[in-house]
Amino acid sequence: MSSRVSKDAKLGEKGQVVIPAEFREILNLKPGDALIVRLEGDSVRITTRHAIIKELHGAFAREDGRDLVQELLDERRAEAAQKWL
């Protein structure tokens, strides 16, 4: 599916927007899933936490293939484990 596919939606009385079923299926969204809603200029972007994490990993990827985000997470986990010894 192209990233430029769009569907019409309406804003309900309580400010709710229904994400089209086709999009929910593709993104494997279930009721109660956490979503991020961002104001970007004059647009609203709705995304998943997983997509944000993936985006951040890509932003911090290095040409040598090292994943700086994963390295930082590993360091923090090692530090936390040392505190409990």
Q: What is the pLDDT of residues 59-70, one digit of tens each?
A: 766 777 777 778
Helix (H) or strand (E) holding 47: strand 43-48
Distances (CA, A) of 77 to 22, 25, 54, 73: 38, 34, 20, 6
Judge whether residue 74 has pLDDT over 70. yes
Global pTM?
A: 0.57
Which residues have CB under 8 Å from 70's CB, separation 6+?
A: 57
- State the pLDDT at residue 68: 77
Which residues have CB under 8 Å from 17's CB, separation 6+?
A: 9, 10, 11, 46
How confident is the model over 5-35, as pLDDT tens digits? Answer: 889 999 999 999 999 999 999 989 999 998 9
Judge whether residue 49 has pLDDT over 70. yes
